[in-house]
Amino acid sequence: MASQPVLSNDQSESNRTSVAASAGLGVVTAAIGYLLTAVLIAGEAGHAVGEEIADWKGIAWHYYNGHMVDIGGSGSIGGFSSSDAVNFLAESSSTSATLVYVIPPVVLLATGAALAYHFGARDIGSAVLIGAPVTIGYAVVMGLGAVVTEASGEWSAFGIDATVSMAPELMPAIVLAGLLYPLVFATAGAVLTAVLRS
């Protein structure tokens, strides 16, 4: 029977530390991406989404659009209802709005690279183990953010009820923005750093 390598307590503690740090930086990375989006499109966000929507929600919607996540809208008047999806970045002619597409990959690449450098990753396997857990924190923020940034309203006139609701589409927000983006870009940043350091 072949013996299997046993991790020392120091190695397992180091692995837990790197996972926790990576997950924590996933949260921070999402916040930095949001803030950079705010800097780029602050004046435009309110105009694009409408004055009745809070600025912070409009900026968040643009950040989701930067991850290729559409903002879904639905409404009903009386017995009639409809739904549609919009990408505010795609509809904008502003150069600064177009740059928002670059923010998520760049901040995630930088986070993965910083983690790999900090933890001294020198091979692809350890880089993946350091970069991939960024997904944990990032997915939590993107999933919760899709719920928190929902905007809705109700009106009634002459006995006719009307409702409207807009929010990032939940499944793409979780799967695409929360899981795939950090899994690909943070891990790639960690792997590139490890390869360059080896």
Annotated domain spans of the chain: 14-69+86-149+168-197
Asked whether 110 and 186 are in contact (CB, 8 A), the reply is: no
24: which residues sit within 8 A by CB, 6+ positions away?
Answer: 137
Reported confidence tier of residue 13, pLDDT bands at 50, 70, 90? low
Triad 112, 117, 120: Cα angle to 5°? 120
pLDDT of residue 105: 98
Amino acid at 188: A
pLDDT, tens digit, 9 for 90 and up, residues 62-103: 999 999 999 998 888 877 878 888 888 888 878 888 899 999
Residues 68 and 87: their CA atoms lie apart, in Å, by 8
* Alpha carbon of residue 189 to chain centroid: 16
Helix axis angle for 124-131 and 103-118, nearest 10°, is 120
pLDDT, tens digit, 9 for 90 and up, residues 142-181: 999 999 999 887 777 777 777 788 899 999 999 999 999 9
**Is pLDDT above 50 for 6?**
no
Which run of H or of E encompasses 119?
none
How many residues are given for the chain? 198
Mean pLDDT of the chain: 87
Residues 38 and 153: their CA atoms lie apart, in Å, by 25
Asked whether 119 and 133 are in contact (CB, 8 A), the reply is: no
